[in-house]
Copies of this chain bind each other. A is one copy, B any other.
Amino acid sequence: MIQKQLFAARAAKNAVAALTTEEKNRALCAMADALIAEKNTILSANASDMENAKERISSVMLDRLRLTDARIESMAQGLRDVADLPDPVGRVLEETVRKDGLTIRKVSVPLGVVAIIYESRPNVTSDAAALCLKSGNACLLRVGREAFASAHAITEAMRHALRACGISPDAVQLMQDPSRASAEALMTGNGIVDLLIPRGGAGLIRACVEKATVPCIETGTGICHVYVERSADLQTALNVIENAKTSRPSVCNAEEVLLVDRAIAPEFLPRLYDRLVTARTQNGLTPVELRLDAFAQTLIPGTPAGEQDFDTEFLDYILAVHCVENVQEAIDHIARHSTHHSEAILTRDENATELFTQEVDSAAVYVNASTRFTDGGEFGLGCEMGISTQKLHARGPMGLHELNTYKYIIYGNGHIR
């Protein structure tokens, strides 16, 4: 069964790659309509997932699993939004005409078959299918057991729409075997799977990186740092830190660690405490728990930080605080502890800016701005398949272009070398 699905994806991929922009857009809109038309089926499948999962997973996870009318409408809108994006396939990236007349054209083409392994968010099903289809790829989706019925109902609706548009429904397949075997078949599907994208927690991503023999892009984990350099405007720093930490603590581009120059810590940390703890409490907002290194503990109240606090993606109202001597020490701390997602410096010093942006080896390096901007939509990609935290092929937010590769097409007239 698993192999049959892999072969079906391979068999479908050339037809998907050859679809015109109009055919793809029509299919995406039909898929959106089908989600609405089959909403009741999807909601009842989701209710069964929720019932089965409620004693096994946390309330945060349960909330991610839950579908509502509004969430299904938002998934359908997501499909229509992808239809509105420019087609990434067939762009001439470079063209060289040699002196001998040989024409070398570098053209964007689909990757072929893209596999996505995800956990409990049913909406990833339609988001991933839409981006893969628009970029000309067949996709193999593998969802966690707890969201299987929901993802199955969503996929079936989309496949009905594909069939009605005269497109092979094997362009979008959900792996029907929810056991570990199907995930492993995708990780080792050499010759069929052109790219594997894990979307989920650190454990899933590590398993994929370790076991995959197909090309795999690490996404998502974000231990993001904000560094307040001694020349920073402290009011700006407070604004950026509160935004980076609290505007949406559960996402990967939220700040987890604050680095502060020791020279300004005695002035700055009490203001930080007022802003993140006192004022938020007074205003009825969730205060931030500060986990402080030894130096910071001498200046403000907070929880003493353990070493693991500087290597943890809290995804919560918790901020680890470490004081450093200077920009180089901040850079070194980031090199040791970062997941290479997003880091920011607050500064008014050009040399510090230069050194920090040069040496910090992360997908996104901010100067006087919040790490929360690392997002496909904010970066103008129109959509996002995840945030790559590795360096090969794609780095940072992955949009439609990152779901293409290229090939060289060379036109001659009997040219020999």
- For window 34-76 of chain A, which residues contact chain B by CB distance below 8 Å? none
A183 contacts the other chain (Cβ, under 8 Å)?
Answer: no
Write the nearest CB–CB distance from A368 to chain B, whole angstroms: 5
B210 touches A413 (CB 8 A): no
A111 touches B378 (CB 8 A): no
**Chain B interface: which of A115-123, A152-160, A404-412?**
A404-412
Chain B residue at smallest Cβ distance from A378: B417
A366 contacts the other chain (Cβ, under 8 Å)?
Answer: yes
**Could you give, for residues 389-417 of chain A, a 1 whenever the CB lies within 8 Å of some chain B CB and a 0 otherwise?**
01111011000000001111111111111
Contacts of A102 in B (CB 8 A): 369, 373
**Chain B interface: which of A22-30, A172-180, A267-275, A357-365?**
A357-365
A392 touches B393 (CB 8 A): yes
Across the A-B interface, the 3 shortest Cβ-Cβ residue pairs: A369-B412, A243-B416, A236-B414
Contacts of A240 in B (CB 8 A): 414-416
A166 contacts the other chain (Cβ, under 8 Å)?
Answer: no
B410 touches A366 (CB 8 A): yes
Write the nearest CB–CB distance from A125 to chain B, whole angstroms: 24
B365 touches A379 (CB 8 A): no
Chain A: interface residue total (CB-CB under 8 A): 63
A309 contacts the other chain (Cβ, under 8 Å)?
Answer: no
Chain B residue at smallest Cβ distance from A218: B215
Contacts of A380 in B (CB 8 A): 96, 98, 104
- For window 132-156 of chain A, which residues contact chain B by CB distance below 8 Å? none
B412 touches A405 (CB 8 A): no
Chain B residue at smallest Cβ distance from A340: B407
A14 contacts the other chain (Cβ, under 8 Å)?
Answer: yes
Contacts of A96 in B (CB 8 A): 379-380
A417 to B239 alpha-carbon distance, docked (Å): 10
A112 contacts the other chain (Cβ, under 8 Å)?
Answer: yes
A379 to B243 alpha-carbon distance, docked (Å): 48
Partner of A416, one of B215, B239, B414, B417: B239
A209 contacts the other chain (Cβ, under 8 Å)?
Answer: yes
A233 contacts the other chain (Cβ, under 8 Å)?
Answer: yes
A303 contacts the other chain (Cβ, under 8 Å)?
Answer: no
A98 to B369 alpha-carbon distance, docked (Å): 13
Write the nearest CB–CB distance from A117 to chain B, whole angstroms: 17
Contacts of A392 in B (CB 8 A): 111, 194-195, 215, 217, 392-393, 405
Q: Could you give 20 example pairs across A and B, Cβ below 8 Å?
A: A17-B358, A18-B358, A96-B379, A96-B380, A111-B392, A190-B209, A194-B391, A210-B213, A236-B414, A365-B409, A365-B410, A368-B411, A368-B415, A369-B415, A370-B412, A370-B417, A372-B417, A378-B417, A392-B393, A392-B405
Write the nearest CB–CB distance from A224 to chain B, whole angstroms: 13
Contacts of A372 in B (CB 8 A): 416-417
Contacts of A111 in B (CB 8 A): 391-392
Q: Contacts A215-B390, A373-B102; is A367 near B412 (CB within 8 Å)? A: yes
A286 contacts the other chain (Cβ, under 8 Å)?
Answer: no
A3 contacts the other chain (Cβ, under 8 Å)?
Answer: no
A247 contacts the other chain (Cβ, under 8 Å)?
Answer: yes
Write the nearest CB–CB distance from A204 to chain B, whole angstroms: 15
Write the nearest CB–CB distance from A182 to chain B, whole angstroms: 20
Contacts of A17 in B (CB 8 A): 358
B407 touches A363 (CB 8 A): yes
A240 to B410 alpha-carbon distance, docked (Å): 14
A391 touches B215 (CB 8 A): yes
Q: Contacts A112-B361, A247-B416, A414-B369; is A408 near B391 (CB within 8 Å)? A: no
Contacts of A194 in B (CB 8 A): 391-392
